[in-house]
């Protein structure tokens, strides 16, 4: 059994909202797009359970088309409501063609509320605050990436209206990439209720809040890799059986998604994600996790939005390189100081070899840093060493 797959222009988020409403009721599945071109390899139909097809960001490889059943989407919404303050009204500040944005829309549909939608494009904290003030439901939510949260806090420092709007949310979910602990601490000190989320398109978005699985989500770490199970899992990858078989496995009568992320579970069952398993360099014979290096770097003044990528080195093979956008580079630590901090935390091999300042960081459409583009810039010598 199949159902039609309907491309929808995600530049008009309210169109995606209405298409999702129909899809969740059994109508055509939705494939949000950001242009007028429909790829020739996008099929006209999908398996009957599928309500949404979203493309991954491609931040760690070639983008994949993830098939999400209606039941999975609604299970994710219910789990979020149970972990937060119940159903509420949302501000949509994220692209409607990625799972974090469609999550906001699905949760709005499930709650029977209408989201306030920011215009796609550049994020404006003042417009965000105005959207927050238009919310009518007593329980209010927003979902942001770390750079957006930082922009809101910066604006709030000089604008009482932005500060009040940020404090009005029952929760501001922050995910999509590693969120510096210093940013979370700053938000909470300002009275903003921040919830760090972890998940992916393959899990219908965030399914672990503050390191704790929500709803019926289960977490295991197998050979150092984070694996997730539960009712919010995707059906698989559209038109790619090999990738589906590699990423989704059955174990002990349950279906698990192998995330490709490295992590650990505490005795209390709290998950800590340290980065991608394949995001490791061997520097002078020692393995170095770029994710761990980035976590330490982002705690340093002026480097909250820094990105750590691999760079070739004549002697050591590969080394970590820190890249930051010029707009966020005020009061940067010197490279020797930064190397000392990282070496003290992770060992000498982890110390970054260079600190690169670019006019601006290249971004994917999702708002995440384009790591492959940054690696190419650093490797090609187009960016100068500090």
Give 209-258 pLDDT, tens digit per residue: 999 999 999 999 999 899 999 999 999 999 999 999 999 999 989 999 99
Q: What is the pLDDT of residue 61?
A: 54
Please give the pLDDT value at position 386.
Answer: 46
Q: Within 13 Å, how many C-alpha atoms sit on residue 369's CB side?
A: 23
Q: Cα separation of 203 and 347, whole Å?
A: 34
Of residues 60 and 212, more confidence is placed in: 212
% of the chain beyond a pLDDT of 90: 66
| Whole-number Å distance between alpha carbons of 140 and 156 | 18
- Cα torsion through 122, 127, 132, 134, rounded to 10: -130
- In eight-state DSSP terms, residue 202 is G
Looking at residue 57, its pLDDT comes to 61
Secondary structure (DSSP) of 306-319: -EEEEEEETTTEEE
Given a cut of 90, whether residue 370 has pLDDT beyond it is no
In this prediction, residue 382 has a pLDDT band, given cuts at 50, 70 and 90, of very low
- What letters, b where the CB count within 10 A reaches 16 and e where it falls short, cover 54-74? bbbbbbeeeebbbbbbbebbb
**Res 291: pLDDT:** 85
Q: Assess whether pLDDT exceeds 70 at residue 384.
A: no
- Tell whether the model's pLDDT for residue 60 goes beyond 80: no
CATH number among 1.10.10.10, 3.50.50.60, 3.30.300.30, 3.40.720.10, domain 279-379:
3.30.300.30
pLDDT confidence bin for 381, thresholds 50/70/90: low
Average pLDDT, the chain: 90
Q: How far is CA 130 from CA 136, 288, 314, 348, in A?
A: 12, 44, 52, 48
Instruction: Please state the domain extents for the chain.
Output: 2-265, 279-379
Q: What is the CATH number of domain 2-265?
A: 3.40.50.12780
pLDDT digits (tens, 9 = 90+) for 88-116: 999 999 999 989 999 999 999 999 999 99
Q: Quickly state the pLDDT bin for 383 (edges 50, 70, 90).
A: very low
**What confidence tier does 44 reach under pLDDT thresholds 50, 70, 90?**
very high
According to DSSP, the residues that pair with 317 across neighbouring strands are 283, 313
Residue keyed to tokens 């991954």: 56
* Rounded Cα gap, residues 179 and 198, in angstroms: 10
Rounded Cα–Cα distance for residues 162 and 54 (Å): 32
Q: Which pLDDT belongs to residue 118?
A: 95
Indicate the pTM of the whole model.
Answer: 0.81
Q: Confidence band (pLDDT; 50, 70, 90) for 367?
A: low
In this model, does residue 327 exceed pLDDT 80?
Answer: no
Q: Is the pLDDT of residue 174 over 90?
A: yes
pLDDT at 35: 81
Q: What is the DSSP letter of 80?
A: H
Helix (H) or strand (E) holding 259: strand 254-265
CA–CA separation, 233 vs 175, rounded Å?
18
User: What per-residue confidence (pLDDT) applies to 295?
Assistant: 87
Please say if the pLDDT value at position 117 is more than 60: yes
Q: Give the pLDDT confidence of 150-167 residue by residue, as tens digits.
A: 899 999 999 999 999 999
* Least confident span in 30-44, 46-60, 137-151: 46-60
369, pLDDT greater than 60? yes
């Amino acid at each position: 059994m199949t159902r039609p797959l309907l491309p929808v222009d995600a530049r008009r988020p309210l169109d995606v909202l209405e298409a999702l409403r129909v899809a969740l009721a059994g109508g055509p599945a939705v494939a949000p797009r950001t242009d007028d071109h429909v790829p020739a390899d996008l099929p006209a139909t999908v398996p009957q359970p599928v309500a949404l097809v979203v493309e991954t960001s491609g931040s760690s490889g070639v983008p994949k088309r993830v098939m999400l059943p209606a039941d999975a989407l609604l299970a994710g919404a219910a789990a979020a409501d149970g972990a937060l303050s119940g159903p509420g009204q949302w501000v949509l500040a994220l692209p409607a063609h990625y799972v974090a944005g469609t999550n906001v829309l699905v949760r709005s549909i499930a709650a029977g509320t209408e989201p306030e939608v920011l215009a796609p494009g550049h994020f404006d904290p003042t417009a965000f605050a105005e959207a927050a003030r238009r919310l009518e439901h007593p329980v209010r939510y927003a979902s942001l990436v770390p750079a957006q949260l930082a922009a809101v806090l910066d604006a709030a420092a000089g604008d009482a209206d932005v500060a009040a709007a940020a404090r009005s949310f029952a929760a501001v979910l922050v995910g999509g990439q590693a969120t510096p602990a210093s940013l979370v601490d700053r938000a909470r000190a300002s009275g903003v209720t921040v919830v760090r989320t972890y998940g992916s398109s393959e899990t219908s978005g965030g399914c672990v809040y503050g390191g704790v699985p929500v709803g019926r989500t289960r977490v295991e770490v197998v050979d150092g890799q984070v694996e997730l199970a539960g009712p919010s899992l995707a059906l698989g990858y559209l038109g790619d059986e090999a990738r589906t078989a590699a990423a989704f496995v059955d174990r002990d009568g349950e279906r698990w998604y192998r995330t490709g992320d490295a992590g650990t579970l505490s005795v209390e069952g709290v998950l800590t994600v340290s980065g991608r398993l394949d995001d490791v360099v061997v520097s002078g014979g020692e393995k170095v996790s770029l994710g761990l290096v980035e976590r330490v770097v982002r705690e340093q003044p002026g480097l909250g939005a820094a990105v750590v990528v691999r760079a070739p080195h004549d002697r050591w093979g590969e080394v970590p390189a820190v890249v930051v956008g010029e707009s966020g580079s005020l009061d940067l630590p010197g490279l020797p100081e930064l190397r000392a901090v990282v070496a003290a935390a992770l060992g000498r091999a982890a110390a970054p070899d260079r600190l690169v300042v670019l006019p601006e960081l290249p971004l994917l459409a999702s708002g995440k840093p384009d790591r492959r583009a940054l690696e190419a810039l650093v490797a090609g010598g187009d960016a100068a060493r500090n």
